[in-house]
Every structure is written in C-alpha cells, then in structure tokens.
Amino acid sequence: MFSSGFASWRPRPPKETPSSESLFNGVANPAEVTPRWRRIAMDLAILLAILFMILWPWVFFGVVKAKKGLQMHDRFAETIDQYPQRVAIVVTFIGTMNRLFVTILFSRMIVRLGQELIAARLRQEVTVFGSSALLAFGHMSTVLGTGQSQMKNGSGRWAILALLLAVLGAFALVPSGTAGLITPREFNKTAELRGTELDFTSTDSECLMWLVENRFPKNCDWKNFSGMQFTKCLRENQILDVLDSGRANMLSVLGVNDGTSPFPLDQLGGEGGIRFLGSPKGVLPIGPNGIPVFDTLLTGSNPSVDDAIHRRMVSYNYTLIQQGLESRVTCSYKNSSPIKYRNISNINRTRIISAFGTCDPGAGLEDILEDVPKYITLDTPNTLTSWVCKQTPQPGSQDSTYFLYLHGRFNYATSIGNITCQISPLRARDYSVEYLSLPQYFISEAIISDTAQPTTFYRYIEGVLIGLENIIWESQSRSANVVAEAVFSLGAKNLNLSTPEQHPKYLSLFEKIIEGMLEYEVGLSRS
C-alpha cells in the first residue's frame, strides 16, 4: 500500500565559501570603519610602546654605566648582597614580563598589518602562505604545518621564513637580556686620598726636638687624646699588642706569609681593633679604618666622611703611601755575653737581681742606654735579660749597626744561653698600605725605589731600641719570660723543636719576634 501525499521540493542553497578574511583568524578588517588618522595614531602608539619595552633596559643600563653606578639605599644594597638568589628570581620575573608585553604589542601590530592589507583591497595578493605567515608572526609560531612543506617554494618565502626564525630567536633572548641588563652589580669608584703624618727622616730642628721629647716615657699613665684613652708607654696593656705583633711576624718562619695577627691590635683604638696580614712594618694606619683620633686625611676628596655613602658601600679598599720601618735582624749563638749580674745589697738575692752590660770601646761599640745604667729584674729559674750597644757607621755606610744581646739564666742558660742579634739597617721606609673591607685587614708592602732612603734620626732609633729593652724587661714574671716563651711555644708546637736545647730555628724565631716588636714600637711612637 502506498500512502498518497504531496511532497514539496526546494533546491538547496549553494554552500557558502569562506571569505579571505576568515583565513586570518582575527587578522580581518574592523567591523566599523575607523578614521585613517586614528589608525595611524594607533599604529604609532603600538610602535612606540614596542620600542619602549625593548629599549628601556638598555637605557637603564646606559645611564648606570655613564654615571659609574647608581648607589642604592643602604638597606636595599645590603639585602641584595645577602640574598643573591632572590635577586635572580626578581630580575628573571621582570625579564619574563617584559617579553610578555613585547609579544602582545607585536601581535597587535601584526593584526593591524593584516587589517591594512585587506582594507587596501590587496586580497588578491594575500596567498595561503601569506595568511599563514601573518598568523605565525601574530602568534609567535612556525609558518608551515605538517604537510605544508611545498608552500616554501615561491618568491621571497625563504626570506620570510628566515625572518620569522630570527624574530623567534630575538624574543627568546628578551627575558635573559633584560635580566642581564638590570641585575644589580658592584661598580668601582675611585677617589684620591691625601693626608699627613710624622716624617722620621726630617731634618727640621723643631721636629727633631719633638722626637726627643716624645720618646716612650718611664711612667705608664693613661692619657686622653680626642676622647680616646691610651697609654704611651710599652708596658702594662700595650705589651699585649707588642707581643702580638712579634708573634704575627714569626709566622713567616713557618711558611705562613698570609697569616693575620692572632689577635687584633686594639690598644691603639679603632673599631674592633687593627689587623694586619703579616707584619705592620711600623705603619700607623690612618683613613676610614685606621686609628680614628690620628686620622689626618683631608676631607675634601674622602668619600667615607659621608656616612650615607659609607653605609651603602658593599665592599671597598683604599691604599695610602705611608712611612714605616725597614729592619733586618740576624741572630747567632755566642760563647760569651757583655751582660753581668750584681746582687742588690739589703735585698733577698733569691727574689731580684741587678743586670747591666758593658759595650767594648775597643770593638767600636758605644752604650746607648745612657739613662739606664742597670736593670732590676726578677731572679727566677727562667730569667731573660738584654742589653743594646751601637757600632759607629763603617766607611761608605750611612747606617749605624746595633747589637742586641740576650742572656738566659739557669734553665734559659741551656735553651737560650748567649744570643747576639745584629740589627742593620734600621731606617724609615715608604710602604703601600692597603685596607680590604671584606677580610677586614691591612697589608703593608714595601715600595721599591732606585733612590736610597734618607737616614732616620739616630736619636729616634735609639729610643726605639731602649723601648725594646723595656719590653723584654717587662715581660719577665716569676715563672718565665713571656718573649722567650712565645718563641719556645711556637717552635715546640709548630716545628716540633725541643725546648731545653738550642736550635737554629729558634734563632730565626727570635729574629722575627724582635722585628715585629720594633715595628709596633715605631707605629705607636706616631701617636
């Protein structure tokens, strides 16, 4: 059975073909007609924004470089120095955001290019490859997909592909490039420092008189100078730094040429004490980290006088040419000594004894201890005494030679016996004194010069040697002599030497500790 009915037939409308605008997937004409001047203004704004995002890191870097660094706030600079990983995270994030904004602006520029191509009725010139290229530039992706390799054939298509790859590579460098240009770093700034100090080679009569009148006093009283309390003598508290300077100088015998003072030299003042890498060489440090009350630097070119600038310095160093002491001590064991002992009348001999020395005029020796005819010292099983004589300069020499005699009693007679130390030369010399803020110590290095150093005022040198006598005398206690024990302890612990016996290594240690103590005296005498 068939059911009857009428069916209506309508022809299917033809399938609409996509317009060329749809191929651009967002790179089409705007829905409404925009005035030309507004489109031009928009294009210029996008271009300027792109240039700004690309160039601002370079401009920032150029300004910082031209100004030799822009100093940060002290706390900010300290935070950056303490947390470098966090700094890396922040600058990387800024670089990534910079690339994001550049990519968005560049994509918008490509959209505008596509719109202008269509608006200019150039559809017939926009091929499938052109559409793919615009989309690739707009979305920062590859031009050709799978199975589209044949589209590379054509005029100028290889150049477009190369340009796209170059753009992709350039955009990949934006984060790291931005981070590298804006990462905080240290900049070196220099300033000339000038100051004054006492000249030990001066021939001015007033200066020479001052040196004579300001020798190390016998009375060890505290003095106040510019609000700082200190003692000018070499006894009591000062003897700690004197011995420490000698111990630091002995480290070179052990092959330790880069060792700092075991303890900071704090008797002269200075924040946290003064520390030297090696020997101080008779220098009294001045400058921002030297002895504050004796700082003679001119403030005009000294950046450290500005506390705000000083606090923001991550690290710094400064170098000054200062006058120190050049000395060479050579010691040897002898069979005899010019040092004699005498009992003191009406005093128990087992407690104290009188020590004195004689300088043989027949050997060309002179006595420099004019005001010290004898020393009263403790008479113990470990007593060390000393004496100093001067030999007049030999023909052709401008320096006098000095002899320091050491004599040990009882137990020290075996380990020390008689030691004669020749001290020559003993003169002022210029040193390059550098302070390093990170390790917080000074370095003194002699300045090599072809010209001979001027002769140092001889009365000053003799005052220093008298001070050395006082140090050895003050170091004597009821049980031992601190100077001798400093030598023996270092030799026994570090060189595995036997303390009751004489050894050439002990002579080397005595030479260095004497040099170190002399150098400290010279530095102290400038105060």
Three-state helix/strand/coil letters over 79-148: HHHHCHHHHHHHHHHHHHHHHHHHHHHHHHHHHHHHHHHHHCCCHHHCCHHHHHHHHHHHHCCCCCCCCC
302 in Cβ contact with 193 (< 8 Å): yes
pLDDT at 404: 95
156: DSSP letter: T
Is residue 148 pLDDT above 80, yes or no? no
State the Rg of the chain over Cα: 42
| Long-range contacts, stretch 345-354, CB < 8 angstroms, 24+ apart | 349/379, 350/379, 351/378, 351/379, 352/376, 352/377, 352/378, 352/379, 353/377, 353/378, 353/379, 353/383
Output the CA–CA distances (angstroms, integers) from residue 331 to 211, 279, 369, 380, 406, in the order listed: 29, 19, 21, 24, 10
pLDDT at 392: 76
CA pair distance 376, 344, nearest whole angstrom:
9
pLDDT at 276: 84
Give start and end residues of each alpha helix (H) in 426-496. Answer: 458-474, 482-494
pLDDT at 25: 46
Is residue 186 pLDDT above 90, yes or no? no
Is residue 263 classed exposed, middle or buried when 0-12, 13-18 and 19+ CB atoms within 10 A define those classes?
middle
Over residues 96-146, the pLDDT tens digits come to 998 888 888 887 877 777 777 666 655 556 666 666 777 777 666 665 554
Over residues 336-384, the pLDDT tens digits come to 999 999 888 776 656 788 898 989 888 889 888 766 667 888 889 899 9
pLDDT at 232: 67
CA pair distance 366, 390, nearest whole angstrom:
5
Over the chain, what is the mean pLDDT?
Answer: 79
Output the CA–CA distances (angstroms, integers) from residue 126 to 18, 83, 116, 117, 133, in the order listed: 14, 54, 12, 8, 10
259 in Cβ contact with 495 (< 8 Å): no
Q: To which H or E segment does residue 382 belong?
A: strand 382-391
pLDDT at 259: 55
Residue with tokens 């926009």: 126
Other CB atoms within a 10 A radius of the CB of residue 22 amount to 11
Phi, psi (degrees; rounded to nearest 5) at 115 = -65, -40
Over residues 477-506, the pLDDT tens digits come to 989 999 999 999 999 998 999 888 899 999
Binned at pLDDT 50, 70 and 90, residue 16 comes out as very low
Q: How far apart are the first and last CA of the chain?
A: 135
pLDDT at 484: 96
Other CB atoms within a 10 A radius of the CB of residue 223 amount to 12
pLDDT above 70 coverage of the chain, percent: 76
CA pair distance 161, 61, nearest whole angstrom:
33
Question: Is the pLDDT higher at 126 or at 279?
Answer: 279
pLDDT at 238: 75
pLDDT at 371: 65
What angle is formed at CA 383 by the lines to CA 382 and CA 385, rounded to 5 degrees? 150
Binned at pLDDT 50, 70 and 90, residue 18 comes out as very low
Residue with tokens 């271009």: 47
CA pair distance 31, 495, nearest whole angstrom:
94
CA pair distance 353, 341, nearest whole angstrom:
7
Least confident of 182-191, 408-417, 428-437: 182-191
Residue with tokens 């002022």: 428
pLDDT at 153: 56
Other CB atoms within a 10 A radius of the CB of residue 81 amount to 14
Least confident of 69-78, 287-296, 396-405: 69-78
CA pair distance 241, 261, nearest whole angstrom:
10
368 in Cβ contact with 465 (< 8 Å): yes
Question: Is the pLDDT higher at 37 or at 436?
Answer: 436
Is residue 199 classed exposed, middle or buried when 0-12, 13-18 and 19+ CB atoms within 10 A define those classes?
middle
Binned at pLDDT 50, 70 and 90, residue 154 comes out as low
Report the candidate in 96, 109, 105 with the shortest Cα–Cα distance to residue 174: 96
Size of the chain in residues: 527
pLDDT at 161: 74
Is residue 442 pLDDT above 80, yes or no? yes
User: What integer is the mean pLDDT of 461-474?
Assistant: 86
Is residue 164 pLDDT above 80, yes or no? no
What angle is formed at CA 215 by the lines to CA 393 and CA 398, rounded to 5 degrees? 15
Maximum mean pLDDT: which of 89-93, 159-163, 201-205: 89-93
Q: To which H or E segment does residue 424 belong?
A: strand 418-436
CA pair distance 210, 200, nearest whole angstrom:
11
pLDDT at 503: 94
277: DSSP letter: B
200: Cβ–Cβ under 8 A, 6 or more apart, which residues?
A: 211, 323, 428, 456, 457, 460, 522
pLDDT at 310: 73
User: What integer is the mean pLDDT of 250-261?
Assistant: 70
User: What integer is the mean pLDDT of 48-71?
Assistant: 87
